[in-house]
Chain A
């Protein structure tokens, strides 16, 4: 196997005396993956990204990006990395195009002779070509986000680090970003995408790491993580009370009723027998089956709490 694109060992960042913002992180991002970095707001995602990009010094531990130590090798590594960190930040008094020209000028590995062409191409790619001459001050949040993405695409990159890339976008914009991420991944770019939106990760990512309160809970493939959590039995019926009684008799635990749906732990035996038992007891069954575990189930199983609880 290739060397991982991002690899950290016991990476820790502590501000002041309190609980570390990131605590003993050991992250491995394989080359070519679309890696979802998942966690509620305040779980240490952005702090981790800042350490990977050399903006802040780790308190202890090691971070390697593209095989080289960060922040020491930043000047060699970062030209090969495109990044969108904690939302876009623009020069309001410059046009969208001049914002990109400025950031490209800051890259010592960027050829000034191809600058105008690359800036134009990046603007095209995020759908901002028509607004390129407009002052960035007049951009909507979605347009700013797109311009931030365009800055990450000024050069062909080996790694894209996108921190909450769909923040502030409308559903159409979100879809476009997801398509863009898939295109880039298909072209061989590794994408490291942080998000607090489960379905976003589930839709585009091949791999996922879950953070909570500065610690890494788990990492692996999305499919692997979801299958590590057992699915649930789901019965849709108007006769929920009777269904609960029958299911309990047959040893199904953790029964939950929501509207016309009864769910419970998946039993070990043959499901068809259970269905037959329900029908024999005159329970009118509309739908019956095992529900595949979602990433959300996996997350709840890992943290023991709802997803929206901030660390």
Chain B
């Protein structure tokens, strides 16, 4: 009650750094959702399954393995570090982007359907600031999800297989430390590959008041685009599909590194971020919040 008696005093000017509170809180809130933890749990389980499958296969004396299966899987028995590359190659087409699609799709629409959006806006979060905080925390999730796969794979790889010098695709051998650095760079690259989809999901999320609908639409778009990327007849448009260069991260395992596809991937992601980020901003800053 004593607080109200001294109205309307507001000591000093707000510190510009206080504006970062929302981003911090948003990021923490994303990771406190049960759903986020479940997604990360699934992602952590993939390397475990792949690692055990490879181990069982070699245990039966399967030998050369016949060359099928995901990228790098034949090297895993010789060097556990390759489980990191295999796991990222396995999760990048669907598991990772699906998780990102869920988080990005729900970001604004989920708040709208819960009604909390209006309270954030009258707080006042500011529409541009809220959108930036939502996107930034989604990017943090992209990185976290990728690292969960990488760390889980590295752990399983170290437990089940020997570690050692890394033989690159180009045939040269680098030290384990160098290999580990390349693995880290690849994880960063995979996370960056997801930024375009994250922007697309954020845009979808500003279109509806239903979190479920936004999540389903984003994941649906992902699956559609991944399928379109497989049709040779569509090869004229495929360079503009956001997943088209995703598997280019393998080029980091060459000596010298092949940069062209990597840069195309990053450029394409930047284009998607710019286009769908602007669209999300244009939509969200002008829409009526009636939920």
Contact = CB atoms under 8 A, between A and B. Distances in A.
B33 to A, nearest CB: 6
A53 B9 CA distance: 21
Contact of A156 (B10, B22, B288): B10
Interface in B29-75: 29, 32-34
Nearest to B114: A89
Interface string B113-130: 011101111111110011
Given A55-B288, A55-B289, A105 B21 contact: yes
A40 to B, nearest CB: 19
A187 B21 contact: no
A291 interface: no
Given A91-B29, A109-B10, A156-B6, A85 B123 contact: no
B118 A89 contact: yes
A90 B116 contact: yes
B14 A112 contact: no
Nearest to B21: A105
A310 to B, nearest CB: 19
Given A54-B121, A102-B29, A189 B7 contact: yes
B21 A110 contact: yes
Given A75-B124, A188-B4, A89 B289 contact: no
B231 interface: no
A89 to B, nearest CB: 3
A134 interface: no
B18 A108 contact: yes
Contacts of B32: 93-94
Given A89-B114, A91-B29, A158 B7 contact: yes
A121 B1 CA distance: 9
A94 B22 CA distance: 16
A1 interface: no
B230 to A, nearest CB: 38
Given A75-B126, A93-B34, A107-B123, A85 B118 contact: yes
A281 to B, nearest CB: 59
A183 interface: yes
Contacts of B125: 106-108
A107 to B, nearest CB: 5
A85 B119 CA distance: 8
A267 interface: no
Given A55-B289, A91-B114, A105-B22, A85 B9 contact: no
B256 interface: no
B289 A106 contact: no
B254 interface: no
Nearest to B1: A183
Interface residues of A, number: 46
Interface residues of B, number: 39
A74 interface: yes
A103 interface: yes
Interface string A85-125: 11101110110000001111111111110000000010001
Contacts of B14: 79, 108-111
A188 B34 contact: no
B118 A106 contact: no
A94 B14 CA distance: 27
Contacts of A189: 4, 7
A34 interface: no
The CB with the most chain B CB atoms within 10 A, among A104, A106, A125, A157, is that of A106
A108 B129 contact: yes
B288 A187 contact: no
B3 A121 contact: yes
Contacts of B121: 53-55
Nearest to B130: A106
Contacts of B123: 78, 103-104, 106-107
Contacts of A109: 10, 14, 18
Given A57-B286, A79-B14, A109-B14, 16 more contacts: A53-B118, A54-B122, A56-B289, A75-B126, A79-B10, A79-B124, A89-B116, A94-B32, A102-B29, A105-B22, A107-B123, A108-B18, A110-B14, A111-B15, A157-B8, A184-B4
11 contacts: A50-B288, A54-B124, A79-B10, A90-B116, A91-B29, A105-B24, A107-B125, A111-B15, A156-B10, A157-B8, A188-B7
Interface of A: 50, 53-57, 74-75, 78-81, 83, 85-87, 89-91, 93-94, 101-112, 121, 125, 148, 151, 155-158, 183-184, 187-189
Interface of B: 1, 3-10, 14-15, 18-19, 21-22, 24-25, 29, 32-34, 114-116, 118-126, 129-130, 286, 288-290
